[in-house]
Amino acid sequence: MATISDFTPNEMMTIAAARALSNDDVCFVGIGAPSAACNVARLTHAPDITLIYESGTIGTAPDVLPLSIGDGELCETALTTVSVPEMFRYWLQGGRISVGFLGAAQLDRFGNINTTVIGDYHKPKVRLPGGGGAPEIATSCKQVFITMKQATRGMVEKIDFYTSFGHGDGGDHRQRLGITTKGPTLLITDLALWKPDPETKEFTVVSMHPGVTRENVQETCGWKVRFSDRLEETPPPTELELTTLRELQARTERAHGGKKGS
């Protein structure tokens, strides 16, 4: 078992996210941190997980992390590749995806995601890449996991734009809109694991990573943090988990010449 000095917060975040996936999951994977977590899961405890990327690749098993959904590595290692309309209409909107794994530029306490703009939409401070397939993933997957680094600029009281709908204003907002899927059920950050309150749907810290304090969590979050009455400590990474992640990142670094796939 690794010690606290053996791993970084980012490694802890990726491994904690990987652990949330099971061998039977059919997972719609986002690029970046979600992709790293999903592939660590595939290479460790969930070898039969089905990874699906937005470009239409099904059952892909990349040797290195993709730079984008159009990376040739995904198609070359997939069981099959289907058209984007088929991917969204038959697989995603057909209810065949058990987990959608997303990242976020901005996130609020109810799991609503902004990946469109920072600031006013018409005169933004930063224009982001946009939603891509994330809005459909957020409403059509049976449940959604979110992973991101904690920072007050990212975890905010109110997002600047609703790109992907989480739990809206909380409570039964999803149901009132006719959305029948669970929505965000887990948030994995570099400091903690969060789950929505069963009634209010506000994210609540249920586990803090080794060495992290409540103060660390609060000072990097833009809303007043709620902590579970049964707060736990996340188990540190195992040697297998760390080795698998680091070897995956090293292969990616060599393949992409320093460009980032995670």
Catalytic residue among 54, 136, 202, 241: 54
The token pair at 75 is 């198609």
Per DSSP, the three-state class of 255 is helix
Owner of token pair 């979600």 = 34
Long-range contacts made by residues 119-124, C-beta under 8 angstroms, separation at least 24?
119/160, 120/160, 121/160, 121/161, 124/160
Strand partners, 184: 144
Active site residue 54: yes
- Take residue 206 and report the two structure tokens written for it: 């249920």
Taking CA atoms, 12 is separated from 123, 156, 188, in Å, by 37, 23, 10
Question: What is the Cα–Cα distance from 169 to 148, expressed in whole angstroms?
Answer: 21
57 closest CA partner among 38, 90, 80, 37: 80
- Residues marked as catalytic: 54
